[in-house]
Amino acid sequence: MSEEEARIWNELGKITDPEIPALTLTEMKVIRSVRVNGKVTVVFSPTYVGCPATAQIMQEIRTCVAALGYREIAIETSFTPPWSTDMLDEDAREKLRMFGIAPPPDDASDIASALELAVHCPSCKSDQTTLESSFGSALCRQIFYCRSCRQSFERIKPI
Ligand SMILES: [Zn+2]
């Protein structure tokens, strides 16, 4: 990565995800690549097909790159390989917990077992939790209820 590309990457890392404000776009691993070659090309991978925040994120990427003085900006989306919650590293998972959102299970590739795994409450760590609704405040979140501390919390849906 060139110095110029690294600078853009660094700036994109200051944009928070509109759906999950605890994490930035680079922490969410949704920025796939940055290329500077006359024009700037940013390859972005939406977390969910049809995620309603996609258009907003693309606009924010464009505004951010334009603020660095670039005129020709192309933002491409890529679904290969598809984004997966497995891409979140341990730092990102810890930030989610601090924000009060339960991170997805470590390995979501086996969806059947991921669905059966106990979801731990981000406040009290209890596993006495139940799924209340598959759709939280954003499409990619689920609402759980903790029977130990009697609070609802959100979890990032494993994909
Ligand atoms: Zn709890």
Residues that place a CB less than 5 A from ion ligand 1: 121, 123-124, 126, 146, 148-149
**In order of start, what are the domains of the chain with their CATH numbers?**
3-77 (3.30.300.130), 100-156 (no CATH)
pLDDT digits 0-9 by tens, 29-81: 999 999 999 899 999 998 766 667 888 899 999 999 999 999 999 999 888 88
Distances (CA, A) of 152 to 12, 97, 100, 124: 32, 14, 10, 12
Rg, the chain, Cα only: 17
Q: What is the rounded CA–CA span in Å between residue 79 and residue 88?
A: 17
pLDDT digits 0-9 by tens, 92-138: 999 988 888 888 776 655 555 555 567 889 999 898 998 887 766 66
d(CA 44, ligand 1 centre) in Å: 35
Q: Tokens 């660095």 label which residue?
A: 68
Give the pTM: 0.75
Determine if the peptide bond prior to 18 is cis (ω within 30°).
no
